[in-house]
Amino acid sequence: MPSVSSAASSPLSNRHDLQLRQRAAKVVPGGMTGHLNAASLPAGYPQFFERGQGCRVWDVDGNEYIDFMCSWGPNLLGHHHPVVDEAARKQQALGDCLDGPTARFVELAERFVARSAHADWVLFQKNGTDATTVCLMVARAATGKRKVLVATKAYHGADPWCTPIPQGITPEDRAHLIHYTYNDITSLEAAVAQAGTDLAAIVCAAFKHDLGIDQELPTPAFARRARELCDQAGAALILDEVRAGFRVHAGGSWETVGVRPDLSAWSKSIANGYALAAVTGVDALREAATRIYTTGSFWSGGVAMAAGLATIEVADAQDVVGHVQAMGQRFRDGIAAQSASHGVPVRQTGPAALPLILFHEDPGFDKGAVFTVEALRRGVYLHPKHNMFLSLAHTVQDIDLALQATDAAFAAVAQRFGHR
Ligand code: PMP
């Protein structure tokens, strides 16, 4: 059990983690790539993990945490969900990477079509970036047009067209992107006007979840206008569900605002930690989706698809959307009460199932760093500036235990930075 004492905290043991980082630095450029580089986290966070179970993870030094990142989204039902793992094991015993797909491929496509409100067909991939990129290809193949609208600062993956750090790419890779501001209809209309007769697609995240800034749910007016503008121009409305998918609404996140996309990109949680991505689309784009050449050696692997089928079965039978929302709300209410009682204001934004906590007057995330490190030392793994994720494995007891740690973490922030 993680310790949740409110006494002064001390650094966690990290000998093995440091050793691994030193070894990695010699054989991996920078020691670690992308979002998993712990250098982007406050000092004290581990980079390497040993195992996970339910809503707990253990780092390589044996420190145990209540996990509020769920592997940055994928573990929707919790680590090592028995039904998912059993389905994957059974498929593994039969075969995973064969000369062609297994029957799971068709079964899972059927489940996706039955479950996703707008979907008439599915294409499978591995990563979220594969899925968002395939969406752009389908839209361009269908329309014969080039311009794609994306929201400023939105993350859609790490391919040259979308990587947030423009190194190793050319301006030409992004020559046909036009930016708009999420939820800002005027800026969206201006971007559409700029695209003129060359508009292939508008890409929208399921909600605004950009790193380090307050999250925003889509306004119904914005979503409806995006739909209208696509319809008028014959362009595709693409919804990036990679992060939000299966946690906001089972049928698709924009069901909450009554707007259906033409294409959706899914990954992360759809196979509970097994590598899988999917693009769902409407019939009008089926022919274009047939024409594009998109494939990968591992894309039709049976194990991830068996895991995906089991994930959907459990998610629907146990109302995962309702559960993660309820657990997230309990956490959010507890944080709000502690913020008030310690006189340390925070902003909590976005869906409760994907919570983000940012401190007032904290441009360098220094308060966030103290808060999350203090929580970490007490056995709770939070993130100081990225949205977090709840899972089916989080119980009321886990949330309440985590809140004991955050109470002490708030006290540490108040002591260090003062309170109101
Ligand atoms: N879109 C969104 C909204 C994401 O959050 C991510 C991953 N964080 C991606 C796309 C890319 O997914 P992947 O890292 O699996 O390529």
CB 242 less than 6 A from any atom of ligand 1: yes
Q: How far is the CA of 166 from the centre of ligand 1 (A)?
A: 16
CA angle 85, 89, 94 (to 5 degrees): 150
CB 267 less than 6 A from any atom of ligand 1: yes
**Structural domain contains residue 144:** yes
352 and 313 housed in the same domain: no
CB 128 less than 6 A from any atom of ligand 1: yes
Q: Are 378 and 409 in contact (CB under 8 A)?
A: yes
**Structural domain contains residue 8:** no
Q: How far is the CA of 155 from the centre of ligand 1 (A)?
A: 7
CB 155 less than 6 A from any atom of ligand 1: yes
- Tell me which residue has its CA closest to atom 5 in ligand 1: 243
For residue 43, count CB atoms less than 10 angstroms from its CB and return exposed for 0-12, middle for 13-18, buried for 19 or more: exposed
* pLDDT tens-digit readout, 60-114: 999 999 999 999 999 999 999 999 999 999 999 999 999 999 999 999 999 999 9
When the pLDDT of each residue in the chain is averaged and rounded to a whole number, the result is: 97
**Structural domain contains residue 111:** yes
* pLDDT tens-digit readout, 261-295: 999 999 999 999 999 999 999 999 999 999 999 99
DSSP of 105-166: HHHHHHHHHHHSTT-SEEEEESSHHHHHHHHHHHHHHHH---EEEEETT----SSTTT-SS-
**pLDDT at position 9, please?**
84
Which one is predicted more confidently, 415 or 2? 415
101 and 143 housed in the same domain: yes
Domain boundary among 277, 301, 317: 317
43 and 167 housed in the same domain: no
**Structural domain contains residue 9:** no
For residue 266, count CB atoms less than 10 angstroms from its CB and return exposed for 0-12, middle for 13-18, buried for 19 or more: buried
Q: How far is the CA of 177 from the centre of ligand 1 (A)?
A: 18
Mutate to test the pocket of ligand 1, among 70, 132, 165, 388 (most ligand atoms within 8 A of CB): 132
73 and 99 housed in the same domain: no
CB 129 less than 6 A from any atom of ligand 1: yes
- Per DSSP, the chain holds a count of helices (H) and strands (E) of 11, 13
**Structural domain contains residue 26:** yes
CATH number for the domain harbouring residue 68: 3.90.1150.10
- Tell me which residue has its CA closest to atom 12 in ligand 1: 128
Q: How far is the CA of 129 from the centre of ligand 1 (A)?
A: 6
**pLDDT at position 3, please?**
47
Indicate whether 7 pLDDT > 70: no
* pLDDT tens-digit readout, 145-185: 999 999 999 999 999 999 999 999 999 999 999 999 999 99
Q: What is the DSSP letter of 393?
A: T
Q: How far apart are CA 9 and CA 195, in angstroms?
A: 55
221 and 325 housed in the same domain: no
CATH number for the domain harbouring residue 225: 3.40.640.10
**Structural domain contains residue 7:** no
Structural domain count of the chain = 2
**Structural domain contains residue 4:** no
307 and 334 housed in the same domain: no
Q: How far is the CA of 407 from the centre of ligand 1 (A)?
A: 32
Give the mean model confidence (pLDDT) for residues 331-346. 98
* pLDDT tens-digit readout, 60-75: 999 999 999 999 999 9
**pLDDT at position 420, please?**
82
Q: Atom of ligand 1 at shortest distance to CA of 72?
A: 8
Domain boundary among 256, 286, 317: 317
* pLDDT tens-digit readout, 208-243: 999 999 999 999 999 999 999 999 999 999 999 999
Domain boundary among 288, 317, 346: 317
- Percent of the residues in the chain that have a pLDDT greater than 90, as a whole number: 96
329 and 409 housed in the same domain: yes
Give the mean model confidence (pLDDT) for residues 27-52. 95
**Structural domain contains residue 10:** no
With H, G, I as helix, E, B as strand and everything else as coil, classify residue 208.
Answer: strand
Q: How far is the CA of 267 from the centre of ligand 1 (A)?
A: 8
242 and 323 housed in the same domain: no
CB 156 less than 6 A from any atom of ligand 1: yes
Domain that holds residue 170: 82-317
Q: Atom of ligand 1 at shortest distance to CA of 241?
A: 3
74 and 131 housed in the same domain: no
Indicate whether 1 pLDDT > 50: no
209 and 348 housed in the same domain: no
**pLDDT at position 402, please?**
98
Q: Atom of ligand 1 at shortest distance to CA of 243?
A: 5
Give the mean model confidence (pLDDT) for residues 48-54. 98
Indicate whether 115 pLDDT > 70: yes
Indicate whether 2 pLDDT > 80: no
Q: Atom of ligand 1 at shortest distance to CA of 154?
A: 3
277 and 345 housed in the same domain: no
* pLDDT tens-digit readout, 364-406: 999 999 999 999 999 999 999 999 999 999 999 999 999 999 9
338: left (phi over 0), alpha (psi -120 to 50) or beta: alpha
Q: How far is the CA of 59 from the centre of ligand 1 (A)?
A: 24
- Tell me which residue has its CA closest to atom 1 in ligand 1: 156
159 and 205 housed in the same domain: yes
